[in-house]
Amino acid sequence: MKVVLENLTKRYQSGNKKNGGEVLAVRDFNYEIPDGKLVGLLGPSGCGKSTTLNLICGLENPTEGKIYFGEDDVTDLPPENRGVGMVFQNYALYPHLTVKQNILFPLQNLKGKDRPTKEEMNEKALEAARLVQLEELMDRKPKELSGGQQQRVAIARALVKRPRVLLLDEPLSNLDARLRLQTREEIRRIQRETGITTVFVTHDQEEAMSISDEIVVMQAGVVQQIGKPQTVYDDPKNLFVAKFLGTPSINLFDGKIQSGKLMIGEEAVMDVALSDRKVTVGIRPEGFVLFDGGAMSCKLLRVEVMGRDVSIVSSHPACQADQLRSIILSENKVDEEAETVRFDLKPGKVFLFDIESGDRIEVEAHA
């Protein structure tokens, strides 16, 4: 089931007179979520991603715009008639009910001819539990489960009615680091097995990048970029997207174009076909190549060795932050006593942005 968002806009009333008594949570969101895919809504807190999720599930109504599930217009349907399953950030498992009763709960709400018999209900509950590998824990209460297990109960409860769309609100934020890795694989697997179109919300870019088929980066209610995770990472549309994706994050420099050369500080680091202007230069940490005759020289601060690769922390007068971080393969030998390090840059990892708007300046760069 594909989900289509058409000019979706949500405004809230607020007591603040300064902005006209209104808060714009989501502005003019257009997107067709492909059938059977896993989509991550990504952005900092307050960017409107949770509101978008609530609009899709029907807990909130859009101020403008339409929502379609397949060909059905569901904009004015209440949540229970949309056929959505939702997993809440805190799971919202009913604490006084056992795992089994929790999973059965949505089925027991059904009335009339939709209502399965008791055996069918038990069968479906067991099936959902098996999908999330919980069938051993059916008689436990939620508080007797670990965070990851609770999460899986919540997913089973959301899936037991065979929803057309599955929605997950910050599904991993309440788990510790190790469980988070495990659980996100789990979500991916469950989504693949069921083939249900799934939308999840997260502020953690790594989480979104790792399991999504597509990601939607949002800021202040406005969609910044939509695409495959790797595409968005490799080809960010603006400074915000470039900064938001990637750990360690992108290094930013004040630069300028001077007679076909990109200047960072006093050094010409690359050839670009642009007229003279000031630019913001973004260089991914993996965009540096350690080279004695490199074009860019930085003051070496320290070297961090982390197994597979080496992280060089240095400083540069034109860098917008106090220090910049570059990641190189561990085969490279770094002289930790040296005052300066010199780098060459990989063209594909260097992005130029307008200093006012932050928009990406599309241009071919050469070393």
Partner 1 sequence: MRKKNLHGWLYLLPAILFLGCFMVYPLVDVLIYSLEEGYNFASQEMFGVGLYNYSYVLHDPYFLQAVKNTFILVMITVPLSTGIALLISVALSSIKRLRHWFQTVYFLPYVTNTLAVGLVFMILFKKTAYTDGLVNLMINWFGGPSVDFIDGPYWAKMFVLCFYTIWVVMPFKILILTSALASVNPDYYKAARIDGTPKWRTFTRITLPMISPMLFYLIITGFIGAFKAYSDAVALFGTNLNAAGMNTIVGYVYDMLYGDSGGYPSYASAAALILFAIVFTITCINLLISKKSVHH
- What is the closest distance, in whole angstroms, from the C-beta atom of residue 108 to partner 1 in the complex? 8
Q: Using DSSP, state whether 75 is helix, strand or coil.
A: coil
Write the binding mask 140 to 159 for partner 1: x where contact by CB under 8 A, - elsewhere: -----------------x--
**Residue 80 within binding range of partner 1, rule CB under 8 A:** yes
Which one of 105, 133, 228, 349 is in contact with partner 1 (CB under 8 A)?
105
Q: Which amino acid is at 22?
A: E
**Residue 92 within binding range of partner 1, rule CB under 8 A:** yes
Closer Cβ to partner 1, 31 or 88, answer by number: 88
**Residue 12 within binding range of partner 1, rule CB under 8 A:** no
**Residue 81 within binding range of partner 1, rule CB under 8 A:** yes
Q: Could you give the C-alpha distances from 127 to 91, 100, 342, in angstroms and in order?
A: 20, 11, 59
Closer Cβ to partner 1, 158 or 365, answer by number: 158
Q: Which amino acid is at 72?
A: D
**Residue 59 within binding range of partner 1, rule CB under 8 A:** yes
Q: Where does this chain touch partner 1 (CB under 8 A) — which range of 86-94, 130-138, 201-209, 227-235? A: 86-94
Q: Measured in Å, how far apart are the chain's first and last C-alpha atoms?
A: 46
**Residue 109 within binding range of partner 1, rule CB under 8 A:** yes
- What is the closest distance, in whole angstroms, from the C-beta atom of residue 154 to partner 1 in the complex? 9
Name the nearest CA neighbour of 42 among 172, 156, 192: 172
Q: How many residues bind partner 1 (CB under 8 A)?
A: 25
**248 prior amide bond cis, ω within 30:** yes
**Residue 31 within binding range of partner 1, rule CB under 8 A:** no
Q: What does the alpha-carbon distance between residue 42 and residue 229 come to, in Å, rounded to a whole number?
A: 11
Q: Could you give the C-alpha distances from 225 to 41, 201, 237, in angstroms and in order?
A: 11, 15, 7
Closer Cβ to partner 1, 45 or 357, answer by number: 45
- What is the closest distance, in whole angstroms, from the C-beta atom of residue 140 to partner 1 in the complex? 15
Find the helix or strand (DSSP H, E) in which 354 lies: strand 350-354
Label the pairing between strands 324-329 and 309-315: antiparallel
Q: What does the alpha-carbon distance between residue 45 and residue 25 come to, in Å, rounded to a whole number?
A: 11
**Residue 171 within binding range of partner 1, rule CB under 8 A:** no
Q: What does the alpha-carbon distance between residue 341 and residue 180 come to, in Å, rounded to a whole number?
A: 37
Write the binding mask 240 to 279 for partner 1: x where contact by CB under 8 A, - elsewhere: ----------------------------------------
Q: What does the alpha-carbon distance between residue 185 and residue 38 come to, in Å, rounded to a whole number?
A: 12
Closer Cβ to partner 1, 113 or 366, answer by number: 113
Tokens 């320290």 appear where?
A: 302
Task: Give the footprint of partner 1 on this chain (CB under 8 A).
Answer: 57-59, 78-81, 84-86, 88-90, 92, 94-96, 105-106, 108-111, 157, 161
